[in-house]
Structures are given as structure tokens and as C-alpha cells.
Amino acid sequence: MKKNNLKENRFMEKIRLYDPGRLIITTLSLDQIKNAEKFVARKAQIFEERTLAEAPIYLDEVIDSFARNENPSRKALKRVAAGSLPDLISKPDGAGLLKRFIGLIVSIGSSVLYKSLLLGYMRIKHDDSMFSDLIRHALLNGNDQLPQRWKDRISTYGLLEHPTGRKLAFLAISTTEKSPLQVFEDAGLKKGILLGGGFAACAFNEFCSIVSKDHSEEKLTRFFEILPNNLSDKSDERVQLAESSLPQISEALLRPYLEKNPSDDLRRKIIEKLVNLYRDPRLNPMAWASVDQDLVSIILRWLTAESFEMLMEVLNSSNQSTQWKTREKFWKGYIEKGYVKEAWVAFGPDAERQASKLIRSGQLRSRGSFGVLEPSQIQGHHSVLFMKVGDLTISEWTHDGKVRFYRSRNTSKPELYKLRYDPEILRRDIRTDHFKHHLGNWQGDVAEYIRDITGFRNPRW
């Protein structure tokens, strides 16, 4: 009893001393408010990432409950909705299971379950419209049940609009105050599972499609911003968008040049980006097998011109271009006309060192874009250019030597895109179908031979 009286007295004393005028409320600064918002956002993201984790045990619970004509727990519904919809859909009766699953969520009408279903929708692949449409329609009907920040995202970024991801792509390419990746993040596609999910893939594909229509400077700038420097840096969240998107990225960067050419600077920039991400198509043809072959032919044409330019760069920088001048003029006619479909250069030891020096200075792209002649009786600055013109593989030496021709049926023809070559084998005339010394009117004789075999005429000769 005494204890109760003591507590009561203390309480009354606090009331007597209470003075509202003495209350002090600290006004938060703008930075403090922003930090608080970031803190809440981080906590929400951690919750979402946990919910997005695959949960086989809950998937089993859902399927077993349906089999017994019972309802699974809400926790199982939440975890499957956010993290295991692809596994549910992949079951033999995937469509039926999904319809029943969505119907149960709709009948419960829980804000948590609707949000989990939205997260799952962002994650699944959208190549099968039947499944994605079922989920989208349920979310559209239950939009009022979603948390406000997700309702705002749906409205602002068109998360439930069709075609999937188009509005987000348009905003990402046109909102200049933020980077494209920041726009994706504002839409809820933060690094992690959602950025690597089906909705982000659709939005990125739409982004590529917009860029492929025309190459304004602003579009290209935004597009290069969303591409990683390489695919090996997994800390760069942009890798998730690009690592399986070679066909779409090629479409964006190469489609506008089917009938025209970009500036030399832009051509080099596009080559560098594609080769850094997916390697040289001449050295890694399997990776490029899924790309439209008309687009592959564009980059091969550009790489052909690049090999020729690279040879000239090395020769000029080492003061070894004198003997090549007439050959440069001759072969450039075929290259500019598009008759040379593929080209590759192999440098002698001294020329290789010069090329490596130019690579370090940034004047040449990469070591993997040329081959090397093994040391032998040749002089160190000698090099050879390989070209494919119609039915012919041609090897042309930069200094004293011969131009050699090999028909496609010739099993001894040199193979392009090797990193090392034996010059002694390359110079064996017995392996050729035809060869010509660089003497007299060699250009006329060579042009006539190429015309007879391929039908191509040298416009400069």
C-alpha cells in the first residue's frame, strides 16, 4: 500500500511541475531529414531483399496446401509471391497454380501480400505475357492496397503499364538531371535481385530500342552512361543489365549504320565499348552468334578498316611507311568499296613493341586486336596484312616481299585472327594459288587477278 502511495505522489509531483512552455522541440535540418529518409529507405530495402530470397520450403507449403484444398499461411504466400513465382509457374500446372495463388491474395486483400506480389512481378521474366498479365491485372485492381511509395512508383514510372518497361525507359533516357541508373533505382530497381529481374530487362531492352532509332548526341550520351566498362566488375550494378544483352546493345549501337557510317570518333567509341564488353567478334564468334548477322557485318567492316588503320599507325610512328605508300593507296580502294570483308594484321617484333607503346598511350585499342610474327629471319619491323576478298584470302607484306593469294578451297591458306604466326610458313609460295612480286606494274596484275577470281574491280586502278 505504501508503495502505491509513493508512486501516486511522484506522479502528482510530475503533473504539478509540468510546464508546456518549457518544452523544447528541435527543428531538424534539411540534411537531417534527407538522412532520415535514406535510413528508412535502407531499412525498407533490407526487408524487401529478405522477402525476395527464394524459399523452397514455403513453395512446398503452398503447393501441398492447394493439393489438400487448404489455404497456406500468409507467410508462405508472402515469401512465394516475392521470391518464388518463377518456380511456381514452372510446375506442370503452373497457370492453374498461379491463378489460384493470385485469387487467394486478392481475397485476403492484405497490403503486405500485394506488395510482395508486386516485387515478384518485377522479378519474373515477362516473355510469357499470360503469366505477367495475370499478375499485372491483379495488381491494378488492388493498387489501393499497396504502400504509398510503391503506388507513387507505379504512377510515375509506369510499372504496371504495357508494353512492360517502356515508360521507365523513356524517363531514363530523357531525365537529364539524373543518370539512367538513378532513374531505375528511383523506380525501385535497386542493385540486386530486382535490377537483374525481368522488369528491369524489359525496360533496358526498351531503352536499347529507343536508341536504335537514331543516334542523337544526347541519346548516345545517356546510353553509354548506363553501360558498364566491362562485365568482370561485379561491383558495378550496370553489369546486371548488360551481361546478357549483347543482341539488344548491338541493335542500339549498330542498327543506325546499316546504310551510313558514323564519324570516325563515334565508330571507334562503339567498337571499344562492344569489344570491351563482349570481346572481338572475330576472336569470339560464338558470343556473337545470337546477334543479327547484318549487324555483325557492320562491326566486322569497321574492324577491317581498323586493322588497316592500325597498320598505318604503327608504320607511320616508326618511320617505316615509305614502301607501303603505294600499297596503302591500292588496297584502300578495295577497303573503302567494302570488298574486303575481313582483315587482320600481324606485327614483327619491333612493330609489336611500337604497337604496344601506342596501346599504352591510348592511341591503339587493345593487344588482342592484332597478331604477332614469331622471331625468324625477317626484320623486326616487317609486318603482314591478311584480307578476305570474295573467294580469296590475301597476305600482303609491308616491306620487301610478295602479295600472296589463296582460294577458299586451299587448305594451306593462312587463318585470320591467330595471335601468333610463323613467317617462314607464310612465305612458302608453294602453298599459294598465286603470288606476285611488288615489281613493275604489279598493281595492274594484282587488280586483274582479283577481278578474274572475284569480279571486284579496284575503283582506284
Question: Please, which pLDDT band fits residue 148 given cuts at 50, 70 and 90?
Answer: very high
> For 157-169, how does the pLDDT look when each residue is reduced to its tens digit (9 = 90+)?
999 999 999 999 9
Per-residue model confidence (pLDDT) at position 308: 87
The better pLDDT of the pair 223, 305 is held by: 223
> For 53-73, how does the pLDDT look when each residue is reduced to its tens digit (9 = 90+)?
777 899 999 999 999 999 999
Give yes or no for a contact between 107 and 99, defined as CB atoms under 8 angstroms apart: no
> For 297-340, how does the pLDDT look when each residue is reduced to its tens digit (9 = 90+)?
999 999 998 888 888 888 877 666 677 888 888 999 999 898 99
Question: Please, which pLDDT band fits residue 416 given cuts at 50, 70 and 90?
Answer: very high
- The overall average pLDDT reported for the chain is 88
> For 91-129, how does the pLDDT look when each residue is reduced to its tens digit (9 = 90+)?
999 999 999 999 999 999 999 999 999 999 999 999 877
- Burial class from Cβ neighbours inside 10 Å (0-12, 13-18, 19+) for residue 389 reads buried
pTM of the predicted structure, to 2 decimals: 0.81
- State the Cα–Cα distance between residues 68 and 229, nearest whole angstrom: 52
Question: Please, which pLDDT band fits residue 225 given cuts at 50, 70 and 90?
Answer: very high
Per-residue model confidence (pLDDT) at position 110: 94
Region 206-220: mean pLDDT is 95
Per-residue model confidence (pLDDT) at position 44: 52
Tell whether the model's pLDDT for residue 42 goes beyond 70. Answer: no
Per-residue model confidence (pLDDT) at position 355: 84
Question: Please, which pLDDT band fits residue 418 given cuts at 50, 70 and 90?
Answer: very high
Per-residue model confidence (pLDDT) at position 55: 75
